[in-house]
Amino acid sequence: MPLNIKTNLIYLILVVIGFSFITYSQAKLESSEGFVETPNGKIWYKIYGSGEEIPLLLIHGGPGGRSCRLKPISELSNERPVILYDQLGSGKSDRPSDTTLWHLQRFVDELDILIDSLHLNKIHILGHSWGSALAVEYFLTKKPVKVKSLILVGPLLSTSLWLEDANYLRKELPDSIQQVLKYCEQEGLVDSKEYYSATDYFYDRHMYRIKPIPEYPECGDSDFNEVVYKQMWGPSEFYCSGNLINFDRINRLNEITVPVLLLIGEYDEVRLETLLKIQKLFSNAQIEVIKDAAHMSMVDQPEEFNRIIRRFIRSIK
């Protein structure tokens, strides 16, 4: 091979390698909105902000919830891209009728497809409630080196522990409300108006503290999917009859080596006493409690919530 051709070939290879390295290490996102194809339907996403700082990916609660309720966290986009997405079956994503899709591993695979499709080479992940279960399961099963930290807000990490907390708090409700709940559950009347009215007492204390609950325009065409919620969880936050009934990752939390932030509201469904026990199971986790906030702490106290998240992410080297 002539020297000049060989030299040019080597130069070309080095350019390609260098370009690939830059693309991998400095992926830059721009504000955008769209859909990602998965084997079972399209999932909607939206990127707030732009730049080369490590993006923050938000995983909403539910199951069957929607990302629009996490909108207050998008204020962090003045520093880094913030990505919201609706899980398949809810929000603005496709709503297939195949109920065999509603199980944990399929949601993990969906998340993996989204991250790859958006070329997220480095990310921070924030999971809220059920979204924390999904974030942890993704980390444990996919073992992604691209995840630099996990932020678990009001986290579901063990169904049995969740129910212990929920039923502890349920006992603080008025006796008349507890009697209605117990009667409806025993008689199979969990879809009744009486049951839903009684559960509202619990949600008023432990879901939102702010009244009235803010309405976000983004939620106007973004619906909750009750079918997914009931199949995977059940009729209420403190009564699990779905396929997550045996979910528990407590014994594997030591496998998570990245920095972890455990965040709850003062009146959260997850009790501080429980979270302190969970913290010890991680190799590197810290706890923050937001005053005068419940499970939806990012809605109750958005400024304080974002201040804590911003400080934590900035501390990751």
| Count of CB atoms situated within 10 Å of the CB of 98 | 9
Bridge partners of 261?
Answer: 151, 286
* Phi then psi dihedrals of residue 85, to 5 deg: -150, 150
Q: How far is CA 149 from the centre of its chain?
A: 13
The pairing of strands 32-38 and 41-48 is antiparallel
- Other C-beta atoms closer than 10 Å to the C-beta of 140 total 14
Task: Residue 261: name the closest of 281, 279, 248, 280 by CA.
Answer: 279
Q: From the candidates 90, 124, 132, 268, give the one annotated as an active-site residue.
A: 268
Does residue 129 have an active-site annotation?
Answer: yes
Give the Cβ contact number of residue 113 at 10 Å: 15
Strand order in the sheet with 123-128: 32-38, 41-48, 82-85, 56-59, 123-128, 147-153, 260-265, 285-290
Active-site hit among 222, 236, 295, 297: 295
128 classed as catalytic? no
Residue 264, φ and ψ in degrees, nearest 5: -135, 165
Question: Among the options 129, 132, 236, 297, which is catalytic?
Answer: 129
Six token digits for residue 256: 């998570």
Q: Does the active-site annotation cover 149?
A: no
- What are the angstrom distances between the C-alpha of 32 and each of 35, 73, 241? 10, 17, 38
Known catalytic residues? 129, 268, 295
